């Protein structure tokens, strides 16, 4: 369990907050950040589903919540009870907007009401979290958006996911403009097909034949590879406003 003022811990590079930290890319970010010395606050619907070492456990607090449902129901009260408590005194904050879910739908048959929830999760909730946390961020802090190569291209059969990821990229670009000159840098990381529970649940064993031929390395990316890009971005103010495609050339 983290102390009330976790980021003030001696030698810690700061506090990293990640949404969707229970599994996949989010969990890999949690593990890598803790290994790098960050104090970590993970917010996820599932809670932390992947194992942590004892050293990592000492630096991580996992809060289980449904961001869409809980935010709609409690809003500011949730932010005050969780985000405010953990960011008090933080000398540097990295906020990683990673939470997502996916399903197959089309223009002929949109996936309502899940489409609305997914767009909220990709835009309204990150924007609200930014509003609450930016006043607490000192120079050297960062806001990172985990999108997808589908943030800037379309595919058939993923109407809601493509729409939400495009919207997230727009939010990232507008946020970077508004933060210009503040000492807080913001950028987006757009992974290609990555070996995550979400991809496995959507495509099963077919994922290998569908995606590996598109990748320059002939394989899916691992969550750990994407996590390293995210942590690099958190320490790279010179990349303010950038969009990083971490996709083995799948987007070309």
Burial of residue 55 (number of CB atoms within 10 Å: 0-12, 13-18, 19+)? exposed
For the cut 80, the answer to whether the pLDDT of residue 136 exceeds it is: yes
Spatial contact of 226 and 250, defined as CB atoms under 8 Å apart? no
- Please name every residue paired with 144 in a beta bridge, in sequence order, or none if there are none: 96, 187
* Homologous superfamily of 6-246: NAD(P)-binding Rossmann-like Domain (3.40.50.720)
Strands (E) across the chain are located at 15-19, 39-44, 60-64, 93-97, 142-146, 185-191, 243-246
Average pLDDT over residues 160-181: 98
Average pLDDT over residues 128-149: 95
Q: What is the pTM of this model?
A: 0.93
What is the band of 188 on the pLDDT scale with cuts at 50, 70, 90? very high
How confident is the prediction for the chain on average, in pLDDT? 91
Residues in contact with 19: Cβ distance below 8 Å, sequence separation at least 6, in sequence order:
26, 43, 44, 67, 96, 97, 98, 99, 125, 126, 129
Residues in contact with 9: Cβ distance below 8 Å, sequence separation at least 6, in sequence order:
3, 39
For the cut 60, the answer to whether the pLDDT of residue 122 exceeds it is: yes
- What is the Cα–Cα distance from 148 to 153, expressed in whole angstroms? 9
Where are the chain's structural domains? 6-246
For the cut 80, the answer to whether the pLDDT of residue 68 exceeds it is: yes
What is the band of 99 on the pLDDT scale with cuts at 50, 70, 90? very high
For the cut 80, the answer to whether the pLDDT of residue 73 exceeds it is: no
- What is the Cα–Cα distance from 110 to 98, expressed in whole angstroms? 23
Average pLDDT over residues 200-227: 96
The single-letter DSSP state of residue 36 is T
> Quick one: tokens of 204?
């099963």
What is the band of 12 on the pLDDT scale with cuts at 50, 70, 90? low
For the cut 80, the answer to whether the pLDDT of residue 3 exceeds it is: no
């Amino acid at each position: 369990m983290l102390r009330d003022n976790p980021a003030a811990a001696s030698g810690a590079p700061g506090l990293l907050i990640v949404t969707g930290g229970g599994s996949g890319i989010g969990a890999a970010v949690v593990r890598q950040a803790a290994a790098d010395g960050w104090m970590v606050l993970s917010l996820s619907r599932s809670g932390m589903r992947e194992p942590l070492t004892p050293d990592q456990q000492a630096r991580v607090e996992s809060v289980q919540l449904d961001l869409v449902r809980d935010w709609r129901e409690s809003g500011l009260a949730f932010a005050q009870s969780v985000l405010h408590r953990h960011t008090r005194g933080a000398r540097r904050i990295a906020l990683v907007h990673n939470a997502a879910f996916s399903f197959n739908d089309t223009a002929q048959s949109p996936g309502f009401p899940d489409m609305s929830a997914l767009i909220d999760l990709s835009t309204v909730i990150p924007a609200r979290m930014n509003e609450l946390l930016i006043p607490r961020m000192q120079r050297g802090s960062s806001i990172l958006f985990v999108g997808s190569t589908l943030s800037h291209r379309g595919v058939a059969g993923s109407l809601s996911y493509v729409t939400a990821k495009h919207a997230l990229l727009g939010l990232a670009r507008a946020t970077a403009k508004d933060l210009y000159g503040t000492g807080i840098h913001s950028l987006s990381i757009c992974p290609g097909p990555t070996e995550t529970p979400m991809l496995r649940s959507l495509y099963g064993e077919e994922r290998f034949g569908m995606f590996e031929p598109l990748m320059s390395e002939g394989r899916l990316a691992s969550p750990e590879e994407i996590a390293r890009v995210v942590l690099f971005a958190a320490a790279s103010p010179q990349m303010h406003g950038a969009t990083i495609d971490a996709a083995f050339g799948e987007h070309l």
